[in-house]
Amino acid sequence: MAILKVARLGNPVLRNPAREVSVERLAQPDFQRLIDDMVTTMREYQGVGLAAVQVHEPIQVAVLEVADNARYPGKAPLPLSVLVNPEIVPLGDETEEDWEGCLSIPEIRGRVPRYSSLRVTALDRHGNELDFVASGFHARVIQHEVDHLRGHVYLDRMPDLSTLTYLTELSRYWTDR
């Protein structure tokens, strides 16, 4: 398995909507290898999610996992999941604000409002249909990854850019938030 190069902010691949994946494509070995490599890459850089566009593949695939992550201390664990062609619908208008970061925007965090609860439909890596409700941090990560697949980054979702901070300054000045 390989650690893939992660595209950084400014690379146009992050700004183009990703294509849907066909079920036939899912079955191909190179596609399954791409998913394995995305998982390896996410873990290597201690991400809680990674979208295929971030590794220069403009297709609708995202992986997510929270497992005692040093970049996101105190977050409830989330088993590894693979979302193919995900669609989300907010359940209600309730939103919550929290810090967010992105492997394509290194060393920076900002406060981002996200829907508290979502219905998620997608395929798994084998083409099985998924249909579930996500809430809290899980819902946040999914909204962040689905945004990537639509050509958006979390900066686009910030109503107030004054909370943008480098990690060093986050621990120094914002620890009470």
Segment contacting Ni ion by CB under 5 A, of 30-38, 100-108, 128-136, 164-172:
100-108
Q: Which is nearer to Ni ion, 22 or 45 (CB)?
A: 45
**CA distance linking residue 139 with residue 120, whole number of Å:** 9
Q: Based on the shown chain and the rule CB under 5 A, indicate whether residue 84 belongs to the binding site for Ni ion.
A: no
Instruction: Rule CB under 5 A: choose which of 102, 112, 123, 142 binds Ni ion.
Output: 102
Length of the chain: 177
Q: Based on the shown chain and the rule CB under 5 A, indicate whether residue 149 belongs to the binding site for Ni ion.
A: no
* Minimum distance of Ni ion from residue 104's CB (angstroms): 5
DSSP string of the chain? --PPPPP-TT-GGGTSPPBP--HHHHTSHHHHHHHHHHHHHHHHTT-SEEEGGGGT--BSEEEEEESS-TTSTTPPPEEEEEEEEEEEEESSS-EEEEEEEETTEEEEEEEEEEESEEEEEEE-TTS-EEEEEEEHHHHHHHHHHHHHHTT--GGGG-S-GGG-EEHHHHHHH-TT-
Q: Based on the shown chain and the rule CB under 5 A, indicate whether residue 63 belongs to the binding site for Ni ion.
A: no
Segment contacting Ni ion by CB under 5 A, of 7-15, 96-104, 129-137, 162-170:
96-104
* Minimum distance of Ni ion from residue 70's CB (angstroms): 17
In this structure, are residues 140 and 157 in contact, taking their beta carbons and an 8 Å threshold?
no
Segment contacting Ni ion by CB under 5 A, of 61-69, 94-102, 128-136, 166-174:
94-102
Which of the residues are catalytic? 145
* Minimum distance of Ni ion from residue 176's CB (angstroms): 26
* Minimum distance of Ni ion from residue 148's CB (angstroms): 6
Q: Which residue is nearest to Ni ion (CB)?
A: 102
Residues of this chain that bind Ni ion (CB under 5 A): 102
